[in-house]
Amino acid sequence: MASVTFSGVTKRFDDVVAVNALDLEVADGELLVLLGPSGCGKTTALRMVAGLEEVTDGDLAIGDLRVNDLAPKDRDVAMVFQSYALYPHMTVQRNIEFPLKRQGVAAAERSSRVLEAATTLGLDELLERKPGQLSGGQRQRVALARAIVRAPRVFLMDEPLSNLDATLRVQTRSDIVAIQRRLGTTTIYVTHDQVEAMTMGHRIAVMRNGALEQVASPTDLYDRPATAFVASFLGSPGMNLLAATGFTGHDGTPGLRAAGAELPWPDGFSRQPSGDVTLGFRPEAASLGSEGLDARIILVERLGAETHLICSLADGERVVVRQRDRQSSHQISDHVRIRIDTDQIHLFDAESGLRLGEGT
């Protein structure tokens, strides 16, 4: 087991910068989720740890060892591929056993370890089958078993659940978490599914355009997003973001003007010299009332336990309001007023998107 450290790691493909000066430390025994939209460089970062992609710049270390120039087989990492990458001509038994054979593990120990890994994943009945005779979920488990049987220092998983149906995904998700917690193996888990990220990771590293936006625990990430991008990427639906301007009222108290309405300046955010900020609030921090932002409902999504009202503000910006009330009587094209809970407001710099600092 070991930590994984990226120090200014950059990966360039000709003129594409896939990963840009990434600084990130994955602690020993941690499950870190790499989260971000398609093309942000998650897979590339993972493949660099595996040694399948060369590091263009910076240092990559596993434990105390710089691994930039180490061959994949010498890194003692196991990877679960999105495609599972099972060897089609081998039985489940032989697939799981394959890495052990190379390590020269004796036959008796090999089969006991294979059986243990297979039992952990409920595959012990399927050992004689070939991958072609397995369902998608079973193949996925074989791929996991092949990774855990080696007891490697690091697990790397690239969207391992994306080919499973929704039910199976939820179940396998918790299985992976349970196995990871039990083995305590350092794991980097790539996904673009923020629910997976929130439920699985000790910490989540959000990437965007090859760079790290923020790394924090799931709750910190949700409650204190460091950038407007993180705020809008996490949560389903994500945080509402509005352009706003700070002003000072006649009595000297600072305020915020957004979408034609005025709000008191929220506590805990320093003032912006330019006055321009991005105002963020989660759908659950908004409610309909007799005062607030003028809006018109353009879509009502009833999800059962809750209802999402998608509203259009006077200036055309969209805002989502989450209602716990399943009997919501609101209809499309109703005119409503949206009240924002000022305790749950986030402010970001309008230009850089960075969260405004503490202060007054």
Return residues touching other proteins (CB under 8 A). 50-52, 72-73, 77-79, 81, 83, 85, 87-89, 98-99, 102-103, 146, 150
Our CB check for Mg ion shows the closer of 49 and 256 to be 49
Closest distance of CB 18 from other proteins, Å: 17
Our CB check for Mg ion shows the closer of 90 and 211 to be 211
Our CB check for other proteins shows the closer of 89 and 182 to be 89
Q: Residue 214's closest CA among 278, 280, 222?
A: 222
Our CB check for other proteins shows the closer of 155 and 265 to be 155
314 binds, among other proteins, Mg ion, ligand ATP, none (CB under 5 to 8 A by kind): none
39 binds, among Mg ion, other proteins, ligand ATP, none (CB under 5 to 8 A by kind): ligand ATP
Q: Contact between 332 and ligand ATP (CB under 6 A)?
A: no
Closest distance of CB 235 from other proteins, Å: 33
Distance CA(315)–CA(59), nearest Å, equals 48
Our CB check for Mg ion shows the closer of 43 and 172 to be 43
Q: What is the binding site for Mg ion (CB under 5 A)? A: 43
Closest distance of CB 326 from other proteins, Å: 45
50 binds, among other proteins, Mg ion, ligand ATP, none (CB under 5 to 8 A by kind): other proteins
Closest distance of CB 90 from other proteins, Å: 8
107 binds, among other proteins, ligand ATP, Mg ion, none (CB under 5 to 8 A by kind): none
Say what angle helices 136-148 and 166-183 make with each other, to 10 degrees.
10
Closest distance of CB 40 from ligand ATP, Å: 4
Q: How far is CA 264 from CA 247, 249, 271, 292, 343, in A?
A: 10, 10, 12, 12, 10
x-or-dash string of contact with ligand ATP, 24-43, rule CB under 6 A: ------------x-xxxxxx
Residues in touch with ligand ATP (CB under 6 A): 13, 16, 18, 36, 38-44, 192
